[in-house]
Structure 1
Amino acid sequence: MASLQASSFLHSSAYSLPRLSRKRTITSIRDLPKTRASNIPLHDLQTGRLAEELEKARSYTSLKTTFVDKKYTKNDENYGSDSMVLEKLYAILEAVADRVEMHKNIGDQRDNWNSLLLTSINAITLAGATMSGIASTIAAGAAPVGALKICSTLLFIAATGMLCIMNKIQPSQLAEEQRNAARLFKQLQKEIETTIAIGEPTDRDVNEAMQKVLALDKAYPLPLLGVMLEKFPSNIEPAVWWPQQQRSGQVTSAHCNGWNAKLEKEMRSIVEVLRRKDKEEYLRLGGKALKLNKMLAVSGPLLTALAAIGSSFVGSPMPGGSWAAILGVVAGSLASVVNTLEHGAQVGMQFEMYRGNAGFFKLMEESIESNLIDNRRENGELFEMKVALQLGRSLSELRDIASSSSNRGGEVDEFASKLF
């Protein structure tokens, strides 16, 4: 009878424990004090000993799960400055995650702008050209001629205005900017998570994270009015999305922190190849894409404006009335071709892509140069591996191209990067 009461009491006490989440339950079961009901004497059950043991287990579980979730508690000796640094990093991490979603959503929206505006403007232009052609086949003075001329002219005028706006904001380039921003914010998010996972972050980590967030906000603004990046700059410059790197002082010894004279020479050779080959090549391609985009951006509205003028004189008794019809039809058709070439081929996006690639190589240059002369530099072996991964090469390939550059005075036929 007594064992049945004890079994019933154990059963009811087990169900009285608070429910925990799945994650906390796994942690708690692993770390619970080993209390077995079979080892507790019967008289202890009658005096409430079991209830005390269960209460102790419950208290231990609560403390364990609180420590796992927050890492630092008020009883921890590192609570205070370390805890505040963690809270700041988590606040920055939340802001970065929010920016990733914002740039992703706005990038999708602006990509839709490009598709919808391209389709709409081409439809309007071709409709205007069709009406202009039909009007030219109807005898002068007939009733439909005036209506067709007015509709055709209005359609061409509307297409001209929409094209001017579309060519000014370059939706495909805007979408590429937001894609780059989302990718870079994701990269920053992973960096902060790694810093937290490694442990012992400092105020310097917080300041660097803040500076990187602000630099990205400046490099890839979300609004269009007032702060939109110049779509047709006079000078081609690499994109810059990182803060100016602070240097702590000149390196006092080459043989420290995994660095040696051979590795420093190798990194200097890589910098020369990046500067003379990779970055210059993408700046050259960006310049060509920009010139083509400028020419197409001017030609499209100009052709639709000429088509509007020509369609307004279709069927008139004035000399050259037949040429007016030809101008309306041909200029309208050419405007559709030019618009498709500019925005369908996303020439603005290609320019931004080349500019971003040049910026990537400029960032690598600055990072390598900073580690060469900064007294607070990364471990040499780790840094060499990072450079090789960023360039899509193995360590042996990286050393080979550095050796080839050194032997030829910085002139090599091969690009440093094999990724793009």
Structure 2
Amino acid sequence: MATLKASGLILNSSLSSSERGIVKAAINIPRRVPNISLPGLRTGGLVEEMELHRCAQKQLSPVKISTIKRNENNYGPDPVVMAKLYAILEAVSDRVEMHKNIGDQRTNWNSLLLTSINSLTLAAATMAGIAAIAGGGAPAAAMKLSSTALYVAATGMLSIMNKIQPSQLAEEQRNAARLFKQLQNQIQTIISIGNPTVVDVKEMMEKVLALDKAYPLPLLGVMLEKFPEKVEPAVWWPEQRRKQSKGNTSYNGWNGKLEEEMREIVKIMRIKDEEDYLRLGTKALNLNKVLAVTGPLLTGLAAVGSALIGSPAHGGWAVVLGVAGGALASVINSLEHGGQVGMVFEMYRSNAGFFKLMEESIESNLREEEMERRENGEVFEMKVGLQLGRSLSQLRDLAAAAAVKGVDMEEFASKLF
């Protein structure tokens, strides 16, 4: 057994406690140590004891504990899902600009075509009147020929304009831009909340494709029917599917009273709001059909009348058709396209679609028997109230009145439009 000398090994161990309770230990060992044997000293146990003491200090720190918990729960979103959502978001943003620009273009179509056609029609009517006053000769023949040519051109342009209905096209693009903007906000909300799933990506893709189908950009081949046999609400959303379970078995905000309230709201929207807009849309469609046929018919008759001016057999009637027909055609065109009857029809059809979407959304939640698959009842009730322009108390009063009066109720569900 060796002898320990003071000059050979100096072991200073000092333990001091600071204000925070941190333990510090310092061991000073000289660089050169003589050949000694220390069989009774277990350095490994000392190191292990110091490590355990350090771990105990870390566990007592509230900052470290919260950091560990945050790291365990923060798994982060799937990068592939996020990349897909951002790709959809970029496409939706582009569609917003596309529909906005094309809507402005088609608004210009409506005003420019109306101005041009009315100018042609009035010029042709003026020439027909001058030809009737001039009698015979080369000047009268030139006036008759020019008047007929202008009437034929106006008839062709007006037929095309009535077929495509530029004011209705512009309204479609305005609706599409607004709905794509709404979808853009929904995607941004999903990204902001965090942890989107593959189901969210699929749902957003279906909504984009449904909007593309409901409001097509090109005219040839896929243009919406401007004079349908029956007026139906516009549909721009995919089929309502069963929602994914959120795994939350706690209270979801739904109760029997809220379910009954939503059923009454659906009933009043269907028999009052949606039905009223479909009725108004039918009237606007019928008026537009009459005007769309009358305008080209008048310009066509005016073209025939201007060609027969000066004829001994039909001279009087020809002048009336050539002059009065053009004047009446200008009035009809101004009423149809200046009044934007096609746009009014599309507005009514879109409003009816808005209420149909609300009805399907409410009914899809009510059909779901598993509460955890439903949207939170309190949030859903607030959304319905905002969409109808009503506070929660007004919404409940409306449901109570609908339950008492039923179909005899005079008040509409929506206060917005």
Shorter-chain TM-score category? 0.7 to 0.9
Q: Which amino acid aligns with 2:403?
A: S
User: Which one of the candidate residues 102, 118, 126 is aligned to 1:122?
Assistant: 118
Structure 1 stretches lacking a partner, 5+ long: 1-74
Distance 1:405 1:81 in 2: 45
1:145 counterpart = 2:140: yes
SS across alignment from 1:245? coil
Aligned to 2:395: 398
Q: Which amino acid aligns with 2:130?
A: I
Aligned to 1:41: none
Q: Shift of residue 315 of structure 1?
A: 1.6
Structure 1 314/91 Cα, relative in aligned 2: closer, same or farther at 3 Å? same
SS across alignment from 2:210? helix
The C-alpha deviation readout for 1:324-366, integer Å capped at 9, x for no partner, is: 1111000000000000000000000000000000000000000
1:326 counterpart = 2:326: no
Distance 1:212 1:332 in 2: 47
Q: Which amino acid aligns with 2:207?
A: K
What is the number of residues matched between the two proteins? 342
Structure 1 89/76 Cα, relative in aligned 2: closer, same or farther at 3 Å? farther
1:109 counterpart = 2:112: no
Aligned to 2:271: 276
Distance 2:408 2:363 in 1: 19
Distance 1:248 1:131 in 2: 68
Aligned to 2:94: 98
SS across alignment from 1:409? helix
The C-alpha deviation readout for 1:264-306, integer Å capped at 9, x for no partner, is: 0000000000000000000000000000000000000000000
Distance 1:206 1:243 in 2: 14
Aligned to 2:405: 408
Q: Which amino acid aligns with 1:399?
A: R
Larger radius of gyration: 2
Distance 1:87 1:80 in 2: 13
Aligned to 2:80: 84
Q: Shift of residue 411 of structure 1?
A: 3.5
The C-alpha deviation readout for 1:163-186, integer Å capped at 9, x for no partner, is: 000000000000000000000000
SS across alignment from 1:403? helix
Q: Which amino acid aligns with 1:354?
A: Y
The C-alpha deviation readout for 1:39-62, integer Å capped at 9, x for no partner, is: xxxxxxxxxxxxxxxxxxxxxxxx
Q: Shift of residue 139 of structure 1?
A: 2.4
In the TM superposition, 1:261-300 aligns within 5 A as 261-300=256-295
Aligned to 2:31: none
Distance 1:103 1:249 in 2: 32
Q: Shift of residue 373 of structure 1?
A: 1.7
SS across alignment from 1:408? helix
Q: Shift of residue 81 of structure 1?
A: 6.8
Q: Shift of residue 78 of structure 1?
A: 7.5
Distance 1:398 1:377 in 2: 20
Q: Shift of residue 309 of structure 1?
A: 0.3
Structure 1 92/249 Cα, relative in aligned 2: closer, same or farther at 3 Å? closer
User: Which one of the candidate residues 342, 345, 350 is aligned to 2:344?
Assistant: 350
Distance 2:266 2:177 in 1: 27
The C-alpha deviation readout for 1:132-169, integer Å capped at 9, x for no partner, is: 000000122x2201100000000000000000000000
Q: Is the 8 A contact 1:269 1:410 kept in 2?
A: no
- RMSD of the alignment, in Å? 2.0
Distance 2:125 2:205 in 1: 54
User: Which one of the candidate residues 357, 373, 379 is aligned to 2:367?
Assistant: 373
Q: Is the 8 A contact 2:274 2:355 kept in 1?
A: yes
Q: Shift of residue 76 of structure 1?
A: 11
SS across alignment from 1:246? coil
TM-score (norm 1): 0.79
Distance 2:269 2:250 in 1: 25
Structure 2 stretches lacking a partner, 5+ long: 1-70
Aligned to 2:233: 238
User: Which one of the candidate residues 126, 132, 137 is aligned to 2:128?
Assistant: 132
Distance 2:110 2:257 in 1: 51
Q: Is the 8 A contact 2:93 2:184 kept in 1?
A: yes
TM-score (norm 2): 0.79
Q: Shift of residue 410 of structure 1?
A: 4.4
Q: Which amino acid aligns with 1:123?
A: S
Structure 1 76/124 Cα, relative in aligned 2: closer, same or farther at 3 Å? farther
Distance 1:292 1:364 in 2: 29
Distance 2:207 2:200 in 1: 11
In the TM superposition, 1:100-249 aligns within 5 A as 100-140=96-136, 142-248=137-243
The C-alpha deviation readout for 1:226-280, integer Å capped at 9, x for no partner, is: 0000000001110000000112599xxx994001100000000000000000000
Distance 1:280 1:291 in 2: 17
Distance 2:413 2:224 in 1: 29
Distance 1:131 1:107 in 2: 36
Structure 1 consecutive aligned stretches of length 4 or more whose deviation exceeds 6 Å: 75-81
Structure 1 331/200 Cα, relative in aligned 2: closer, same or farther at 3 Å? same
